[in-house]
Amino acid sequence: MPPACPWPPYDQDMHLLVVEDEDAIAEPLVEGLRNEGFEVTRVASGQAALDAAPADLVLLDVRLPDLDGFTVCRELRARSDVPIIMVTAKGEEIDRVVGLELGADDYVVKPFGLRELVARIRAVSRRGAARQHGRETLQAGKLEVDVSGRRVTLDGRELQLTLKEFDLLALLASEPDVVIDRPRILREVWGTTWYGSSKTVDVHVASLRKKMGDPTLVETVRGVGLRLRA
């Protein structure tokens, strides 16, 4: 039997603050999140977000009618470690880079599906809870990644990984069952945005699959990126 989790399940009584000015987007989004069991407060401006009661996670649109999302993100991060997921427009990679540099934990790109968003909310919440409780361990099925100790075990067997193999697997394990696109992998693992480095990713993926003993665990989604199957 797995050990008891030292904090409540990530979506039990979890309060989300949705910062979105477009009613056509916000209303179905809020309804969908509430149907998933979240408590949701929605505001339509940056100042309202800064004035709102503390939440467990903030879903923050970049384009707002008063303060932009970057300013709101910077102010929120100065106040607390609340997890922040930025919402950016399709194709505006600079928004995503700036948001992450300002302290956002993740981003989603419009248009996005509710299922993808909920997966990202839960992944960010797990990471935040781990930090809060002094844990740096990521769990994905029988895979366990000890981030601080840089150790990986799969079904109780320790894997001997190179530095980049570990970093890549840790990134994938931070959001199991979610497709992580190649530009993000290159940026977060290799510190580059040069897409020509993508072959390097393929080489490391092949090595990871061999060491894990199950090539289906790390799935390639053609034309998009990689997904760790939990």
Q: What is the CATH number of the domain that holds 144?
A: 1.10.10.10
Task: Return the higher-pLDDT residue of 151 and 100.
Answer: 151
Q: Is the pLDDT of residue 8 over 80?
A: no
174-198 average pLDDT score:
78
Residues 66 and 174 occupy one common structural domain: no
Phi, psi of 29, rounded to the nearest 5 degrees: -65, -50
- Average pLDDT of the chain? 84
Task: Taking the CA atoms of 71, 74, 78 and 79 in sequence, report the sign of the dihedral they define.
Answer: positive
Q: Residue 116 — very low, low, confident or very high, per pLDDT cuts 50/70/90?
A: confident
Is the distance from CB of 191 to CB of 145 less than 8 angstroms?
Answer: no
For 221, phi and psi rounded to 5 degrees? -100, 105
Q: Which CATH number characterizes residue 67's domain?
A: 3.40.50.2300
User: Do residues 103 and 44 share a domain?
Assistant: yes
Buried-state track 141-165, b at ≥16 Cβ within 10 A, e below 16 = eebbbbbeeeebebeeeebebeebb
In a domain, residue 4? The reply is no
Residues 31 and 127 in one domain: yes
Q: What is the pLDDT of residue 6?
A: 32
Residue 227, pLDDT score: 95
Domain boundary pick from 101, 131, 161: 131
Beta strands 84-88 and 106-109, pairing class:
parallel
Positive/negative CA dihedral, 190, 74, 131, 95? negative
Query: Would residue 82 be called left, alpha or beta, if left means φ above 0 and alpha means ψ between -120 and 50 degrees?
Result: beta
Q: Is the pLDDT of residue 97 over 50?
A: yes
| Average pLDDT of the segment spanning 44-50 | 96
Domain of residue 150, residue span: 136-228
